[in-house]
Amino acid sequence: MSDLEIIGVPQSNFVRTVRIVCEEKAVPYRLTPGRPRSPEVSAIHPLGKIPVMRHGEFSLCESKAIATYIDRVFPGPRLFPEDARRCAKIEQWVSIANTVMIPAINTYLQCYFFPRTADGQPDRTLIDKALPELRTYVGVCNRAVAQTGHLVGSEFSYADMNLLPVVAYLRECPESGEALNGAKELGQYLDRHAERASFTATIPPPFSELRRPTAAARHGNP
Ligand SMILES: N[C@@H](CCC(=O)N[C@@H](CS)C(=O)NCC(=O)O)C(=O)O
């Protein structure tokens, strides 16, 4: 039995990506609940973000770094292939997603999942501000998967494992649901890959199951 421990909440798209990695490689792991900026998370991530990982004495943060470590240390299908060009294309899409698209999409989603208004209703002003970027990135993703149904070449890769968990949330909110309805290829991409065993094994519970953050932790959201 592996002593690999992933710490985070299962609703987080980045936590889900790392869990999908474990499932794809058939690496046993345990998921320990941990919210952003909780002591166990902040002990590993300097910014208190999830996921973080422990493997014996070794600890690590950042989903891509964790995925690379798991890929190198454990057997199973290689996520980051030897082929320089394919590997670089995977890195390229992870970088575009993680530095620009996913943060912008999450800013929009959080307006619904974690409204910060006094009455607990989604903040219309923040949503309207987030919409142009959201629509742009849904279009970018739609074009990227249109030809092969994958981000890189014609095989499922870490680039898809990284993107799909956040795409799966688009259907849950009104404007992103509409945008996805208008992005035929992206919708088909989601539907097809959502049937993978690694995807069904990691379906997150609803955000409503996350208790409101404690006062000490109320400085951001998963
Ligand atoms: N670059 C990080 C991003 C992790 C991240 O943003 N996680 C979110 C949850 S999906 C988080 O911890 N949010 C709380 C915060 O940003 O303070 C990674 O790839 O692991």
Tens digits of residue pLDDT in 36-68: 999 999 999 999 999 999 999 999 999 999 999
In percent, the amount of the chain with pLDDT more than 90 equals: 92
Q: Which two tokens stand for residue 40?
A: 């166990």
Q: Produce one character per residue of 156-183: b if its CB has 16 or more CB atoms within 10 Å, e if not.
A: bbbbbbbbbbbbbbbeebebbeebbeeb
Interval between CA 44 and ligand 1 midpoint (Å): 13
Mean pLDDT of 2-15: 96
Q: Which class for 121: exposed (0-12), middle (13-18), buried (19 or more C-beta within 10 A)? A: exposed
Phi, psi of 115 (to 5 degrees): -60, 135
* Nearest-angstrom CA–CA distance, 150 and 25: 19
Residue ranges around ligand 1 (CB below 6 Å): 12-14, 36, 49-51, 62-64, 98, 220-222
* Nearest-angstrom CA–CA distance, 193 and 199: 7
